[in-house]
A and B are shown apart, each in its own frame.
Chain A
Amino acid sequence: MTLATTLFPSGWAHFLSGGLLIGAGVALLFALTGRVGGMSTVFSSSWSWLVKSPYFLQQRYTESRSWRLIYAAGLVLGAALWLLLVDGSTPQTTHVPAWKLLLGGVLVGYGARLGNGCTSGHGICGLGSLQWPSLLAVLTFMGTAFASANLIGRWL
């Protein structure tokens, strides 16, 4: 068994090309509009349409909520295009139980918004602009994610 098949048992090309395309999306958004496109903010900015509280009505949410929702719609369309062009239109499913998705999701949403960024906000945009607070955030969430995936995830 070579090192490559040990590290990447399902191949490596789709990972690298997918990553380059994700980066191309963030780069294109910046080149054309100057916007910094992390994905977790849309979950707060969209609430500003429904919840009229001072927190959600901050300018940074109300000013960006339209384009963030359009950006999110693009994510859905892009993934649908992949399904049509590459995967032969077989809708995907997951074996992760609903309660893990829901509980994990609540922690992901709460944590990403409290920490002002997720895998794309701190990971791609933050590291891409060489910001050390984002590097610390990435190291922190990678650490707790490794712990919960290996410990909690295996026991339950």
Chain B
Amino acid sequence: MSQRHHPSISQAIATLASGMLFGFGLALSTMIQPEAVLEFLRFENFGLMLVMGGAVLVTMVAYKGLPRVRSKPLLGGQFQQHASHWNRDTAVGAAIFGLGWGLCGVCPGPAIAALGVGNWDLLYALAGIALGALVQGVNKLS
């Protein structure tokens, strides 16, 4: 029971290493440069289709394949599923997310990863995202 709140060292290292692959990929694919994202959204460069396609492909193989060949993850626990639902919140939230993404060219992962390449301008976006998440949570109460 306490393991949920104090994850084991090996799980922490695994999580950190997974994040590092993710962050390296974001940097290599230029997703952490708002200009590159905005180029794509203005139909000037279709590279981000390859980023998304490549990431989805590998993820799909893991999500669909691993539970068939193994009963549980390598470090224990269980394979989790995060079901998504189509409702008003999802529709409105996705629409607002897109408006913001098209305005600044930064989404949550790149806003975090940008700290690693010293792109301090993106701290504005990071602060904005944190603020937006706070407002959403506070708003949800009423």
State the total of A-B contacts with C-beta under 8 angstroms: 543
List the A side residues contacting B86 at CB < 8 Å: 132-133, 136-137
Q: Within B83-126, which residues are at the interface with A (CB < 8 Å)?
A: 83-86, 89-109, 111-122, 124-126
**A26-B18, A26-B58, A125-B59 known; A79 and B101 CB under 8 Å?**
no
A120 touches B108 (CB 8 A): yes
Given A7-B46, A33-B15, CB of A18 within 8 Å of CB of B93? no
Q: Is the CB of B55 within 8 A of A19?
A: yes
Are B133 and A24 in contact, with the CB atoms below 8 A? no
Whether A140 lies near B94 (C-beta < 8 A) is yes
Neighbouring B residues of A63 by C-beta, 8 Å: 4-5
Q: Which of B12, B107, B124 contacts A119 (CB 8 A)?
A: B107
Contact yes or no, A79 B132, CB < 8 A: no
CB distance from A127 to the nearest CB of B (A): 5
Q: For A31, what are the chain B residues with a Cβ–Cβ distance below 8 Å?
A: 62, 66, 73-74
CB distance from A53 to the nearest CB of B (A): 6
A63 to chain B, nearest CB (A): 6
Q: B68 in the interface, Cβ–Cβ < 8 Å?
A: no
B20 touches A141 (CB 8 A): no
Tally of A interface residues using CB under 8 Å: 121
A85 to chain B minimum Cβ distance, whole angstroms, is: 9
Cα distance, A74 to B26, chains bound together (Å)? 12
CA separation between A117 and B32, bound complex, in Å? 18
Task: Tell me which residues across on chain B come within 8 A of A93, comparing CB atoms.
Answer: 119, 121
Q: In which size bucket is the chain B interface?
A: 35 or more
Q: CB-CB < 8 A to A24: which residues of B? A: 21, 25, 58
CA distance A76 to B120 in the complex (A): 12
CB distance from B42 to the nearest CB of A (A): 5
* Pair A104/B101 contact, Cβ less than 8 Å: yes
Are A79 and B96 in touch, CB under 8 angstroms? no
Query: Smallest CB–CB gap between A21 and chain B, Å?
Result: 3
CB-CB nearest in chain B for A48: B137
Partner of A111, one of B42, B98, B120, B125: B98
Tell whether, in the assembled complex, residue B26 and residue A38 are in contact, meaning their CB atoms are under 8 Å apart. no
Pairwise interchain contact B96-A94, C-beta atoms closer than 8 A: no
Given A12-B50, A30-B62, A126-B84, does the pair A116, B14 have CB atoms closer than 8 Å? no
Beyond A53-B141, A146-B43, 11 extra complex contacts between A and B, CB < 8 Å: A18-B25, A21-B24, A23-B56, A70-B16, A109-B108, A109-B128, A109-B132, A110-B132, A110-B135, A124-B59, A129-B59
Minimum-distance CB pairs A-B, first 10: A74-B19, A105-B128, A115-B93, A18-B29, A109-B132, A104-B104, A107-B100, A78-B23, A19-B54, A23-B58
